[in-house]
A and B are shown apart, each in its own frame.
Chain A
Amino acid sequence: MNTAAFAETSPRWSPLRHWLWVWLLGVAVCGPVSAQDANTLDLRLARAKAIRQAVAGVADAVLRVELVGVTQSAGSEVAEDAPTVAVAIDDQRHFIASSMVVRGNPTSILLVTPDGRRVVAEVVARDHSRQFVLLRANEDTGADPVEFVEVQPTVGQSVIAVGRHSDGQSPAVSTGILSATGRNWGLALQTDARVSSGFYGGPLIDLYGRLLGIIVPMVPDGGAEDETGWYDAGIAFAIPTGDIQQRLPQLIEGKDVHPGLAGIVARDSDPYVMSTEVAAVRPRSPAARADLQAGDQITAINGVPVSSQREVKQLLGPLDAGTDVSLRVKRGDDTLEKSLQLTQSIPPLVPQQIGITAEAIIKDKQAAAPAAEIVVTGVMKGTPADGQFAVGDRIHSLADSDLSELPSLRRQVFTADPDVPLKWSVVRGEETLQLAFKTQPLGKLPEDALPESLRYAPLDEAGWEVTDFDLPDISNPAAILAPPAKAADEPETAAAASRLGLIILLADPGEADLKKLLAAWAQPAQALGVIVCVVGPADEARWTPEELDVPQRIAAVIRQSHPVEPLMQALGGVAQGPGSSLAMASAILRPGTFAGLSVSPAVRPPAIRLRENDPAAPLQLWLPSAAPGDEEPGWAGSLEQLGYPVLRGQADPKSVLTWVRSLARI
């Protein structure tokens, strides 16, 4: 056999022959030829030639990237400063590289030029969804830029990944087919070419040498711990050329591309459920601004019909922050068209207050459909409402829409944007006033926490007593400090000032005398009008998860015999042990009953899945200051991030009970 003939007679490659081979390959793969024929080695050699030709067309655009001064972190197999590649895209010294060049925060990014020089490159901007960055070399590199051509990739077609190997001079090639398009929620092409770090940032081309995309380290949700974890696995991803090209103008201006967020919370975490129902809309999100509502069904996105959460994710996934998107939603029998501009981030909910108390007064009780009117009953000193509202003002509209229900007023103030003044229409006497002022965070108790409207004014002077509290259907021991029970006045009809607050305190296991615990609360409880109920665990050794809703059930029992204001109900712990942990878990996991939670900063937080504070049934925390020198617990910050106001206060009964009554403020 004469192998030397191979090199000698190997014909110079002409474009015509190139096309011929490619055509031949096409016939072999797609045409009516047998598998035996497709295996012939002639075809494999022809294919190798076509690949070399295609690679030669882009290889001069591909430079090795070296990183200097990377902070090493253990964990991933691929080194943080692994050499990768970059592709020259224009004659302005711009290169596309993968996110590998920024993930270790290198002090310097070097491009290795074809003649072996090292040229410093700077990051111009990066695409945070697609794992690529735009670099600009500080001097000429001699790289020959790739051409952007419009190619529609077809699944199954041959593809070639091009990178550089360790010496930086020889191209590295891996071949395969296009496995899929639109992967990772519409972001990437997938190929079975074996790709490791030397290919990240490199071009994925077809057999004609046309650029299909740029290879990036990526794994789908839950795929691997590190985005490089699937190197050489035959599962590799590339960002389509068109998607890169489309973003170049923005990137060249130095503006990063971020994934666009809508703020829609899906009903079901399973993306295959055939439902597009919106479970919640994150406050201050584009969805909230567009007035999407829980319960809406999304039927189309940018005109493309959708019927499952998976389709919604697939269509929204590739959209950047700043992109406009049109949604068609079904609300009841109505079909609405909504337009959203996606944002980069949705600020966490920071609950707001204006510092008033208010009542909804039915204007004409005899009317067929009695209309309510919201009347300001108190204005707290030093709050935004101070000097704006006056007691007796009737609020007719907020943010240009009519207002007649207290919960709606509460929710709108609670979720207000702190940077945007709220606009009010108020009737004072005969005069209609237009007011506009900003809110303040709810996490701060006004100096004057108890205006006249929140102070307790009992109808009679009945003495308060501490008694054992026997509970039907509940085996927990309990003691209560309360005025004598009376035939229930409906709380709504009791005069506002005579309504009571309520705090339920969970004792730690082993607390023998619950009544004794109430002694310190007796005087302030009666003075402030807050019922205090101490509850122990059913099993004297421990609190159990089955007791999570015991506090809510006890509160319901107390409300039957006492005029408790629903907004003035709080839950807390006696000490800082398991009782406090259970109180925390119960208040967060069973929202709706308690508006306040009072626990020691030393409490061990329960292992529960936290969710964002629900503006319809909000919860706020009273966190007595930690002992001097102690740090504030980390969980307090986590809760604040989720929209739970955390009020730093005192642990003494008077302070706690004052806060309980102040829960009714708006």
Chain B
Amino acid sequence: MMQCLPCCLRVLAIAWLVGLAAAPTSTYAYEADLGVLVRKSQRAAVKVYGAGGGGLVAYQSGFLVSPDGHIATAWSHVLDVEPVVVLDDGRRLNATIVGFEPRLELAVLKIDAGDLPFLELAESLPELADPILAVSNLFGIASGGEPASVMHGSVSAISRLDARRGTFKTPYTGTVLILDLVANNPGAAGGAVVSVDGRAIGMLGKELRDASAGVWLNYALPSSALREAIGNIIAGRTVVASDTESPPLPRDRSHHPESLGLDLIPDVLEHTPAFVDRVRADSPAARADVRPDDLILLVGNTRIGSQQGLRETLRRIDRRDRVVLTLQRGAQIVSVTLQP
């Protein structure tokens, strides 16, 4: 449905170019007018509202990647609760978390709607200096049915990510798009970076500092790296959100952190991250080489947002069963199997 208008404009553009300079004519399929591109980007953008607090904003951005309501967004504290999504047309819908990829800090949401405008994910990386749009709800400026904020810039560099959040290095160290555009601000994470052909070439990441220079980065995770993970999540081949539907087992028949030999850091926050404080000697955790300061990201395929979530998830695993943990250890993602 986005095809016909651009076509005629393209003809006009070619005519203009030929008439003016006899320049080589363009053969690309892209919207010839920035305004059209902006609207297309905005229509696929969504505002995501969820959990916040402790100096963190309770909203972020996302964009539709399928006509059936799949939304790519950043995996962050905002998704510690089932989020509410506001579409470009103003509709306000409850979303479920379909799954996520911790290494990319990517999450996919699903809303119950159809025939939605969406952005195709580009297969290849853009080139240096390519013009781009970044569409997000940075600082929550757009509210209700207002279109998301659009910024224009270009690709500053295509580089490997070497960044940190606080003092922690990020797990993702693959290729990122560095943007010549001050795009990464509170609420922008999950926003789309759109090339002039109208495809999403990347997703704005969470705020990060360059590990060596200390400066804030303006960057996006490239679609070429996100495509497969998004596809896997939609196809149900990967991690899902915590399952609290099934009833817990009796306490003495289920796992809990202590039964695995894990002492966590004191649980003093509403969502205390599941950081390992100590590993008990000769425990399943010790045998699997779990280490202090490991952060538990997943139990099996279930996302662990907090120590509370870890306990609830372990309550649903029989004490005789083994437990597969996905851990973040420094900048590494490690998978371990704990045998009771």
- A positions within 8 Å CB-CB of B: 1-7, 9, 11, 17, 20-21, 23-24, 27, 36-37, 39-42, 44-45, 47-49, 51-52, 55, 77-79, 81-83, 164-167, 169-175, 193-194, 196-198, 231-232
Contacts and interface: CB of A to CB of B under 8 A. Distances in A.
Interface in B6-31: 13, 16-17, 20-21, 23-24, 26-31
B129 A52 contact: yes
A171 B180 CA distance: 12
A41 B33 contact: yes
Contact of B129 (A40, A51, A82, A193): A51
B131 A41 contact: yes
B212 A79 contact: yes
Interface residues of B, number: 55
Contact of B156 (A45, A81, A166, A173): A173
Interface string B193-205: 0011111000000
A48 B130 contact: yes
B157 A171 contact: yes
A198 B210 CA distance: 10
18 contacts: A1-B29, A3-B28, A4-B123, A6-B28, A24-B20, A40-B16, A40-B34, A41-B30, A41-B131, A42-B13, A45-B130, A47-B131, A52-B127, A79-B213, A82-B215, A175-B180, A193-B180, A198-B210
A2 B10 CA distance: 14
A7 B130 CA distance: 12
Nearest to B160: A167
A55 B128 CA distance: 9
Nearest to A9: B27
Given A27-B20, A52-B129, A167-B159, A7 B124 contact: yes
Contact of B180 (A5, A45, A81, A173): A173
Contacts of B136: none
A48 B33 CA distance: 16
A78 B210 CA distance: 10
A48 B198 CA distance: 16
A175 B154 contact: yes
A287 to B, nearest CB: 42
A55 B130 CA distance: 13
A167 B162 contact: yes
Contact of A166 (B20, B127, B129, B162): B162
A48 B127 contact: yes
A20 B210 CA distance: 38
B158 interface: yes
B180 A194 contact: yes
A172 B123 CA distance: 22
Contacts of A11: 24
A478 to B, nearest CB: 62
Interface-central residue, A1, A21, A37, A196, by most chain B CB under 10 Å: A1
Given A55-B128, A170-B158, 10 more contacts: A6-B28, A41-B37, A42-B26, A47-B131, A48-B130, A77-B215, A78-B213, A82-B213, A171-B128, A173-B157
Given A48-B154, A232-B216, A170 B27 contact: no
Contacts of A79: 212-214
B3 A1 contact: yes
Given A41-B34, A48-B130, A166 B213 contact: yes
Contact of A40 (B33, B156, B214): B33
Interface of B: 3, 13, 16-17, 20-21, 23-24, 26-35, 37, 120, 122-124, 127-131, 154-163, 178, 180-182, 195-199, 210-216, 218
B129 A173 contact: yes
Nearest to A200: B213
B149 to A, nearest CB: 17
Contacts of B157: 164-165, 170-173
B215 A78 contact: yes
A489 B250 CA distance: 114
Closest 4 CB pairs of A and B: A82-B213, A165-B159, A79-B214, A172-B157
A1 B17 CA distance: 21
A438 to B, nearest CB: 54
